[in-house]
C-alpha cells in the first residue's frame, strides 16, 4: 500500500507541457500519454488548441507516442477542444478515479507500465495515475482559479511539490 506522500508526489515536473518532449518520454519508456486539458495545455477560457499545442501533439505522434485527453470538464468543453486534434478524449473522467484511465489505455492498446499522465493538479492528475502505478508528470497551472476551493487544493499540494523539488534539487 502506497503512502499518501507517495501517491501525491509527482515523478517529474516541467515548466510547461511542451517541455515534455517525445525524446524525454521515450527515454523513460513511455509510449502513451494521458493528458489533462484545463490549466495543463490551455487556460479554461481557451476553447480550442493553438498552433503550439497542435505541433506538440504532432511531435508526439511522429515519435510513435499515443495520446488521449482525460478531463474532469464536461463534454462540450472537451469535444470542442478535441475537434481539430481528433484524439481519444474523455470528459467527466472522474479523476482521481481509475476507470477512465483504464478505458483510455484499453482503447489505445497500452498498459500502465508504458503510460504516463500529464496534468497540473496533484489531487486529481497525480493521484489518478499513481493509483495505477503509472508515472506522473506535472506542470504548474497556466492560469489558476482563485476560488476558495482551488486555493485550498493548492495549499494541500504545496508540501508534495516541495518534497519533489528537494528530492530532485541539483
Residues found in the chain: 170
131-144 pLDDT, tens digit per residue, is: 999 999 999 999 87
What tens digit of pLDDT does each residue of 69-109 get?
Answer: 999 999 999 999 999 999 999 999 999 999 999 999 999 99
Measured CA to CA, the distance from residue 34 to residue 89 in angstroms comes to 9
Q: Please compute the mean of the pLDDT values over residues 110-117 and round it to a whole number.
A: 98
Average pLDDT over all residues of the chain: 95
CA distance 142 to 40: 6
pTM of the model: 0.94
Distance (Å, whole) CA 27 – CA 2: 25
Q: Which residue has the cell 509510449?
A: 31
Average pLDDT over residues 34-63: 97
How many Cα atoms sit within 13 Å of 75 on the Cβ side? Answer: 0
Amino acid at each position: 500500500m502506497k503512502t499518501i506522500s507517495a501517491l501525491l508526489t509527482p515523478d517529474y515536473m516541467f515548466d510547461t507541457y511542451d517541455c515534455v518532449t517525445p525524446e524525454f518520454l521515450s527515454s523513460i519508456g513511455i509510449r502513451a500519454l494521458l493528458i489533462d486539458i484545463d490549466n495543463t495545455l490551455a487556460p479554461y477560457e481557451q476553447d480550442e488548441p493553438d498552433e503550439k499545442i497542435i505541433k506538440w501533439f504532432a511531435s508526439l505522434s511522429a515519435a510513435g507516442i499515443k495520446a488521449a485527453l482525460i478531463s474532469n470538464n464536461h463534454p462540450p468543453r472537451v469535444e470542442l477542444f478535441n475537434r481539430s486534434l481528433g484524439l481519444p478524449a474523455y470528459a467527466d473522467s472522474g479523476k482521481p478515479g481509475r476507470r477512465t484511465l483504464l478505458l483510455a489505455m484499453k482503447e489505445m492498446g497500452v498498459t500502465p507500465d508504458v503510460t504516463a499522465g500529464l496534468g497540473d493538479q496533484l489531487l486529481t492528475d497525480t493521484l489518478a495515475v499513481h493509483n495505477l502505478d503509472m508515472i506522473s508528470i506535472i506542470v504548474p497551472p497556466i492560469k489558476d482559479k482563485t476560488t476558495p476551493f482551488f486555493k485550498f487544493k493548492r495549499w494541500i499540494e504545496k508540501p508534495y511539490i516541495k518534497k519533489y523539488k528537494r528530492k530532485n534539487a541539483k
